[in-house]
Chains A and B, each alone.
Chain A
């Protein structure tokens, strides 16, 4: 199912938008563009038509490094047995009130 056009497919960019100052950028979707600048203007046109954002990041999908869901257990394991990192691990006397 490939044709000659496939070789010319634009690279994929992931789009992140800060909806207002004070909030993190959040992943909203992706799009294809020839370069970063085009990705940015296209992201503005398709993801912020109703004032959804004040700042946009576009990142080439091939430049992103991500964890593998299959390794979920092993990958997060080093932190799972350290209950003493949670405040509920500790007993504090009622007499001292909220701490």
Chain B
């Protein structure tokens, strides 16, 4: 018995060694390849939470579908929300290749066991919020997702390539909304400023804790699930976005923000980490509402899924009868 165990352990070690060699040589890992249990677990957690974020991300925007100011804006917003649903699907499918079922992931979301991006627990109070979401929230998401296009897990990387292609329209339509508002009446400009005031910091929180406080970062970097650290991505986003805010004539709500000539990048203040932890813990303004809406949508759609299955079953039976 003991002898068998020793053999197993050394085989496991060899497999892990070969696995890491593949990763180091930039060979992608595909669904049926051997992988360490921890690699699989980390990916399932990260990818399913990414999928949940796409799906829950539809809710704050759905709030404005009927109230968008013109037919054009309604159509654009509808197309963007449809994209988010599609991104959820790409990610759920990619996660299923790791051996978890779709229903299991839904259960984890609906029971609160799995998290989704905390940004969606903030309310969308005025129309400029939809602009700020496209510009800042999708902008931050793209910064993160571009890095993930080089992830070591093939299905995740491929899903990210597709998502990034589609997201670029989201950010640009958001910025255009902000531009129209910033060039509008004083009242409209005030709405745009109010939106950036409320969305700036939560957008920066999307990159997660500081590298020093992120206990999963090192292993994820070794496995090349993650290619760039939280702080580096966040800095990239700040450097790209501040000039865009300046062009709009809007103020970034950070009095420590200043250009640093030496490092050719911006210095900026500190995130309110208490707020971050509090929203992650479920105490944000909309946590309960989002989850309940999501549960209701799933339960409310049950009769449709049942009917589709019953119809497919009936068609199959009829075809069998005709053949007999």
Instruction: Give A contacts to B, CB under 8 Å.
Output: 1-3, 5-6, 8-10, 12, 28-35, 38, 45-47, 49-50, 66, 68-70
Contact = CB atoms under 8 A, between A and B. Distances in A.
Nearest to A61: B96
Majority secondary structure, B binding face: helix
A45 B86 CA distance: 8
7 smallest A-B Cβ distances: which pairs?
Answer: A35-B312, A34-B308, A34-B312, A30-B93, A46-B86, A6-B103, A69-B32
A8 B94 CA distance: 21
A5 B103 contact: yes
Contacts of A2: 103-104
B33 A35 contact: no
B79 to A, nearest CB: 8
B309 A8 contact: yes
B309 A29 contact: no
B273 interface: no
Given A9-B102, A29-B93, A31-B89, A3 B33 contact: no
B14 to A, nearest CB: 13
Contacts of A47: 86
Nearest to B34: A70
A68 B32 contact: yes
Contacts of B315: 35
B311 interface: yes
Interface residues on B, range: 20 to 34
Main secondary structure of the interface of A (DSSP, over half): mixed
Nearest to A14: B93
Contact of A69 (B33, B83, B89, B107): B33
A35 B102 CA distance: 17
B166 interface: yes
A78 to B, nearest CB: 21
Contacts, number: 66
Contacts of A6: 101, 103-104
Contacts of B102: 9, 32
A1 B30 contact: no
Interface of B: 30, 32-34, 82-83, 85-86, 89-90, 93-94, 96, 101-104, 107-108, 159, 162, 166, 302, 305-306, 308-309, 311-312, 315-316
Nearest to A67: B32
A5 B93 CA distance: 18
A31 B93 contact: yes
A49 B89 CA distance: 14
A29 B34 contact: no
Contact of A49 (B83, B93, B306, B309): B83
A38 B103 contact: no
Contacts of A69: 30, 32-34
Contact of A29 (B108, B159, B306, B311): B159
A46 B89 contact: yes
A49 B86 contact: yes
A3 B106 CA distance: 11
Nearest to A72: B33
Contacts of A1: 104, 107-108
Given A8-B306, A9-B101, A32-B102, A49 B32 contact: no
A50 B312 CA distance: 29
Contacts of B90: 29, 46
A70 B30 CA distance: 12
Nearest to B33: A69
Contacts of A68: 32
A1 B106 CA distance: 11
Contacts of B166: 49-50
B11 to A, nearest CB: 12
B96 A49 contact: no
A72 B237 CA distance: 43
Contacts of A66: 32
A3 B306 contact: no
